[in-house]
Amino acid sequence: MERLVQSRQARYDRTGRARDEIRYEKKAGKAIEPMIYLDYNASTPMDPAVREAMLPYLGEHFGNPTSSHGVGVPLRSAIDSARGQVASLLGASAGEIFFSSGGTESNNHVVKGVAFALAEKGKHIVTSSVEHPAIKNPCKFLEKLGYEISYVGVDSNGRIDPSEVAGEIRPTTILISIMHANNEVGTIQDIPEISAIAREAGVLLHTDAAQSCGKIETRVDKLGVDFLTIAGHKFYGPQGIGALYIKKGVKLDPLHHGAGHQSGIRAGTEPVAMIVGLGKAAELAEKDSDHSGVAGLRDRLYAGLCDGLGDDVVLLGHPTDRLPNTLCVGFRDRIGGEVMAKCPDVLASTGAACHSGKAKRSATLAAMDIPKAVAFGAVRLSIGRFTNEVEIDEAVGKLVTAAKGAPVHGAS
């Protein structure tokens, strides 16, 4: 049976910090074939420094952080310092950070918490057609309860025109929720401009920064938002932990009801080790703020694909206003899953679901109106802190061969 193993080699990054290089390998019998992990937008490997920071809280430091005795006190101070680390990354104050189980929970909390808190003011929310299901599905849930949702569209680069957001605002609008960067194509939205519109209209603004946090700057003071979502496993922290920034003085209902943890905003005993890990990931992200190296590797990957495939590879997403680690491409007249099946050692996500031999464009690519001949062949290649040039060059060779060898479909 195939087994994923991680091998590590000590290495120094641009900031001079020693770290492990993580390579994923497939162990099939005795032969070990290297795997090239190009799926950082799905989940990043945990940074070894994050794991180190967490370890004491999985062993010697046990107990409940709300206990006022000797076991609880160090746990509480570990949580406080992690809250400070996250706040520092986001340009917020510590009291504005609420830990959650991740991006899905933070997004649900904002959408439902604002909807319930402001139901008397109105029942209308503005969002976009390219949001993650963790925004779209809570909105659909609210529609069943009588709320109205407006979905603004995007252009062929995946960009929202802020004036379209303005055009959707009504007297009953209580929330605007627009993602900072898209998970599939990496397009970055003009949140400061949307913030100016929201301020003018007196409407609360949320941005889902699950994909942008740690990849570009996500300071709430510069973005001008009332709420911001982050998820630990998207920037080298643990899975199952995230946070919601709530601007001081802004009220929303709790998502679930329980004891008074986190000022009654998010009930539940805090998972100390995970919170410590999130804090460490935030500290590393703040130090590692130069993403030009990752962007260079991403561009090398794209250039290699263009050299090998010419017009048969199409860039999807904004050419410049895009996450530095994200390269979504469409292999023309191919099915993304069929291309990736021909290079199983390259790990990436496809942009089209294929059921019973029939491909379907992802909601994002459909909203961008990407022709099916290109969208069916979409593959999201996302890299990060541990990706190196050798892997990029190997991936180029494997992807070019796979795309050339994959069945040609005259999709229309």
Which residues of this chain interact with ligand PLP, rule CB under 6 A?
A: 102-104, 107, 132, 134, 179, 183, 208, 210-211, 231, 242
Task: Tell me the residue number closest to ligand PLP, measured at CB.
Answer: 103
**Smallest separation, CB 231 to ligand PLP (Å):** 3
Nearer to ligand PLP, 102 or 271 (CB): 102
Nearer to ligand PLP, 128 or 334 (CB): 128
**Smallest separation, CB 42 to ligand PLP (Å):** 7
3-state SS of the chain?
CCEEEEEEEEEECCCCCEEEEEEEEEEECCEEEEEEECECCCCCCCCHHHHHHHHHHHCCCCCCCCCCCCCHHHHHHHHHHHHHHHHHHHCCCHHHEEEECCHHHHHHHHHHHHHHHCCCCCCEEEEECCCCHHHHHHHHHHHHCCCEEEEECCCCCCCCCHHHHHHHCCCCEEEEECCCECCCCCEECCHHHHHHHHHHHCCEEEEECCCCECCECCCHHHHCCCEEEEEHHHCCCCCCCEEEEECCCCCCCCCCCCCCHHHHCCCCCCCHHHHHHHHHHHHHHHHCCCCHHHHHHHHHHHHHHHHHHHHHEEEECCCCCECCCEEEEEECCCCHHHHHHCCCCEECEECEEEECCEEEECHHHHHCCCCHHHHCCEEEEECCCCCCHHHHHHHHHHHHHHHHHCCCCCCC
**Smallest separation, CB 183 to ligand PLP (Å):** 3
Nearer to ligand PLP, 277 or 304 (CB): 277
Nearer to ligand PLP, 132 or 215 (CB): 132
**Smallest separation, CB 218 to ligand PLP (Å):** 12
**Smallest separation, CB 146 to ligand PLP (Å):** 25
Enumerate the active-site residues.
354
Nearer to ligand PLP, 105 or 333 (CB): 105
